[in-house]
Amino acid sequence: MKLRLAVLIGLAAALAAPAGDKKVPDVLNFKMKDINGKEVDLSRYQGKVVMFVNVASQCGYTKQYAGLEKLYEKYKDKGFVLVGVPANNFGAQEPGSDAEIKEFCSTKFGVKFDMMSKVSVDGDDTCPLYKFLTSKETDPKHAGPVKWNFEKFLISKDGQVVERFRSAVKPEDKQLTEAIEREVAK
């Protein structure tokens, strides 16, 4: 009963907040499908430090799933969100269905961080989020095509792309963890 009351109070407070109270940052102004096929409004990550990672199950970097899960577990209570974005663009290393990807990630690596439905992150059919992340018009500092699986884009609490890490940068790499720590501390 207390939980239901708390949910209702939270809902009432959200409805009572003035419209346009906080503008959604452009990088989070997209909708995607999650790994279960449900629509996700990325604005739900507003005010959090977010890392988007394009992932693949049959890549030499696939073992990074374990490190990504550790990152997520370490920083999730500090306002950090990790979002896996499966893509089959490089070497056809993510051929599975969403259900197969979900099963693989949960059983092999115990992934609990958010996973999206498989999309394209490179080429003519690039999904809108990755068009934004790689565009010189929207992000001149970190622009350029995704070159391989497991590239990481770090987004600040105010919705700025603050870092981009190429595939070879492991989740436990000092420069990556220091960047996360710097952002969650703000």
> Is residue 1 a part of any domain in this protein?
no
Handedness of CA 142, 171, 72, 97 (dihedral sign): positive
Q: Are 136 and 35 in contact (CB under 8 A)?
A: no
> What would the pLDDT profile of 7-42 be if each residue is shown by its tens digit?
333 433 444 344 445 799 999 999 999 999 999 999
Is 59 a catalytic site residue? yes
- Which of 71, 81, 8 has the alpha carbon at shortest distance from 47? 81
CB atoms closer than 10 angstroms to residue 68: 23
Selected catalytic residue, list 50, 53, 56, 59: 59
Buried b / exposed e over 118-135, threshold 16 CB at 10 Å, is bbbbbeeebbebbebbbe
At residue 12, the pLDDT reads 38
> Is residue 113 a part of any domain in this protein?
yes
Measure Cα distances from 56 to 93, 98, 159 in Å. 6, 11, 25
The CATH number of the domain holding residue 95 is: 3.40.30.10
Number of domain units in the chain: 1
pLDDT at 5 over 90: no
> Is residue 98 a part of any domain in this protein?
yes
> Is residue 18 a part of any domain in this protein?
no
Domain that holds residue 149: 23-185
> Is residue 63 a part of any domain in this protein?
yes
> Is residue 78 a part of any domain in this protein?
yes
Q: Are 79 and 184 in contact (CB under 8 A)?
A: yes
Read off the pTM. 0.87
Tracing tokens 């010189």 back to the chain, one arrives at 136
> Is residue 158 a part of any domain in this protein?
yes
Distance CA 149, CA 50 (A): 18
CB atoms closer than 10 angstroms to residue 87: 23
pLDDT band at 6 (very low <50, low <70, confident <90, very high): very low
> Is residue 27 a part of any domain in this protein?
yes
pLDDT at 46 over 50: yes
